[in-house]
Amino acid sequence: MTQTVKVSNLGYPRIGKNREWKKNLETFWSGQKNEAEFRSEMERIQLEHLQTQKEAGIDLIPVNDFTFYDHVLDAAVMFGIVPPRYEYDGGDIGLDLYFAMARGNATATACEMTKWFNTNYHYIVPEIGNQTPRLTENKPLAAYRFAKAQAGIEGKPVVIGLYTFLKLSKGFQPSETAEIAKRFLPVYVQLLQELKQEGVKWVQVDEPAVVTGLTNEDISLLETIYAEIAAAVPGLNIILQTYFEAAEPLEALLKLPVQGLGLDFVHDGGTNLESIERLGWPEDKILGVGIIDGRNIWRSDLDAKLALLDKLATHVSLDRVFLQPSSSLLHVPVTVEGEDKVKSVIKNALAFANEKLVELKLISSALENRDAVAAELQASRDALATFRALPERGREDIAAEVRKLAELPANRNLPFAERVKVQQEKWNLPLLPTTTIGSFPQTPEVRQARLKWRKGVWNQERYDQYIRDQIDEVITFQEKLGLDVLVHGEFERTDMVEFFGEKLAGYLFTRNGWVQSYGSRCVKPPVIYADVAFIEPMTVKESVYAQSRTKLPVKGMLTGPVTILNWSFVRDDLSREEVANQIAIALRHEVKALEDAGVEMIQVDEPAIREGLPLKPEDRQHYLDWSVKAFRISTYDVKDTTQIHTHMCYSEFNNMIDSISDMDADVISIETSRSHGELIVSFEEQDYDKGIGLGVYDIHSPRVPAVEEMTVNIDRALRVLEPELFWINPDCGLKTRGWAETESALRNMVEAAAIARAKTSPSKV
């Protein structure tokens, strides 16, 4: 092969090497920067990202992948889609309104936030309703001009496709989608016409929603959208970009009048290659080959990637191929540089965003002349071989524990209907008990104390005393508010997954492996590189101390096996099911340690269980089955009087209520506040016979809701849920909130609970 294959990136991490983007946002929100200073810093960060990709030799560099908060929110604002409660009357949309939609303000709740497909990124859900879209600002055009003027880059504007935008939106019935698409098409045409007039050569139109399963109506809608665009904007090169799964039916997508189609060859299970081998590839289309994993952090097996490209080359000429990541690199950290605490044998097996760009260029060079890059290919080969041979990646003792899982009972000793009676006798809780989800505000002082301990400025004894002092204060705080079931506050924990990963075998931790979760919220996922195993109790010390400070019950707090899995970067040589089982076994040891220590109300959180749901409907039940099994492995052998709680957030659960019930937790809390009670519809349509708490206010917004607002949420829930099984709580942990707003909101919540108790007829109980 002698062709030079072009390298295209699909999106670059926004946050910066040292999270400069996050810090700029938060200083602006706090009033420490004015708007001009904020925008200037954002431009500097954006330019740095562009220059990094230019220096890496990327041929097609994405523009408009940069955002001040979220790219879906950007699209909604660009089209003038602003919910009526913000009282927008046209014209420019300033930062105050933009951030109000994301975070709420004093008079209006924030827009709903939910998962971006099956990732841990959250997007702001557009609320379309009866609004007529218009182009308030051509953001892709502005981004294109910025890249050209500031960095000399002929950028590739990235636009969310109309089909995907509508599938991600709310405020209309599915049957109305085609009609609403007609409203939006003139705006999309205008946007693309302006790009063409500017001289843009390629536009990346992201349509990840096409991988979730296309009906005949969906295919017809796609044909209508792209036929109208092709007729209105002839000559503009559009690559319709898919990712996260196989694009099916491929034959339908190949008929669309676009100049290129981008496919994920990493997470498609081999289906995309099979489809191309069956169908061939049209001579008039570019194939975007998503060959480097855009969602995980491991060095690629370059021999395997080149073998795949050799197969593709028999069906499509490589001069009509763009080499790409499988998705935007938004989902991985920026660079391995500076990870000096990671052992070299493991570090050499890592590839973050910048290193993935290097891999893409190396593959491109190898396709042109493999001999010229033989040394680089061999170095990559050797690094992977050394890493894969590590003994901790194949522990027989862990394999033996996994094999024993086949002998475990399927259920707890007593069914829930009988357990609830003995638990109520033991705990003697009031009707509609109040609690929180787990964490309390982590102030700068708390983070500073943890940093002093990590750096050795404080010894273990001093740090432990500091944590005990924080627990004392939060226990007193909760008692004064009148909460019924308390928590210890989690002041010793950085992140709900990282904390456990640090205490389990098989994990490693990076210094700067941060990724964006939502808005300025960044997480540093731990890395599962070897077999996961329990070492010693992880939470008993703090939980036992907290319980000793009050007569009220204090929940032990754990993160569940599937959430630990989904919020980690996971080794890629075992199935996710196998790794989840290893984590579940380790957590079972911790649950037993808590119970033995007298902590008999234990919350095993699974906020991420739904985000791992496969995008193809036919694959979902298998995932749910092994996810439920993993949860049960961690909790099945507790006493009947031990009450198991779990928590889930920001997901659509109406199609998995049965699986949630099968987890057999005694109490589950689920977010409903941002979705304005829509989840309650699921319980209006389906029976749920276990304890449940529907979050009555949104902790991701600084806004403090009134008692009346919470009461409305409670009243609606109690129309469909049994009062004796209903709990009242916030929708998520309180770590990111300030103490003043936390106190005000919880005080209102307790008052709303009291009102609800007074209105609840004894005959209903």
Annotated active-site positions, please?
700
* DSSP element (H, E) containing 693: strand 691-695
CA contacts within 13 A on the Cβ side of 631: 31
Quote the CA–CA distance of 448 and 453 in Å, as a whole number.
9
Amino acid letter, 453: W
Closest to 11 (Cα-Cα) out of 206, 168, 152: 206
Closest CA to 429 of 696, 727, 665: 727
Distance of CA 156 to the CA centre of its chain: 26
Task: Determine the Cα–Cα distance for residues 85 and 241; give it in Å rounded to an integer.
Answer: 34
Radius of gyration of the chain (CA): 26
Whether 45 and 21 have beta carbons less than 8 Å apart is answered as yes
Quick one: which of 146, 168, 164, 177 has its CA closest to 204? 164
Element (H, E) at 263: strand 260-264
Q: Please confirm whether the linkage preceding 13 is cis (ω < 30° from 0).
A: no
Phi first, then psi: give them for residue 445, nearest 5 degrees. -65, -40
Residues with Cβ within 8 Å of 762's Cβ and at least 6 positions away in sequence, in order, are none
* Residues annotated within a binding site for L-homocysteine: 437-439, 490, 605
Binding-site members for Zn(2+) are: 647, 649, 662, 671, 732
CB 261 within 8 Å of CB 286: yes
Give CA–CA dist 194/140, Å, rounded.
Answer: 10
Which letter does DSSP use for residue 395 in this model?
Answer: -
Residue 22's Cβ-side half-sphere holds a number of Cα atoms within 13 Å equal to 16
d(CA 732, CA 712): 19
- Block residue for tokens 């599915």: 174
Identify whether the C-beta of residue 37 lies closer than 8 Å to the C-beta of residue 89.
Answer: no
Residues at the annotated binding site? 19-22, 115, 120, 437-439, 490, 521-522, 567, 605, 611, 647, 649, 662, 671, 732
Q: Give the integer Cα–Cα distance in Å for 357 and 352.
A: 9
Count the alpha carbons within 13 Å of 291 in the hemisphere toward its beta carbon.
Answer: 32
Token pair 């004392």 is at which residue? 472
CA distances to 128, 175, 228, 229, 634 from 188, rounded to whole Å, are 15, 21, 10, 8, 50
From residue 637, how far is each of 589, 633, 643 by CA, in Å? 10, 8, 12
- C-alpha 385: how far from chain center: 31
Task: Pick out the residues of the known binding site for 5-methyltetrahydropteroyltri-L-glutamate.
Answer: 19-22, 115, 120, 521-522, 567, 611
Give the annotated binding-site residues for L-methionine.
437-439, 490, 605
- Strands 62-63, 156-160: pairing kind: parallel
The contacts found for 756-761 with CB under 8 angstroms, 24 or more apart, are 756/432, 756/711, 756/714, 756/715, 756/718, 756/728, 757/430, 757/431, 757/432, 759/715, 760/431, 760/432, 760/718, 760/723
CA 391 vs CA 290, 301, 396, 666: distances in Å: 32, 20, 10, 39
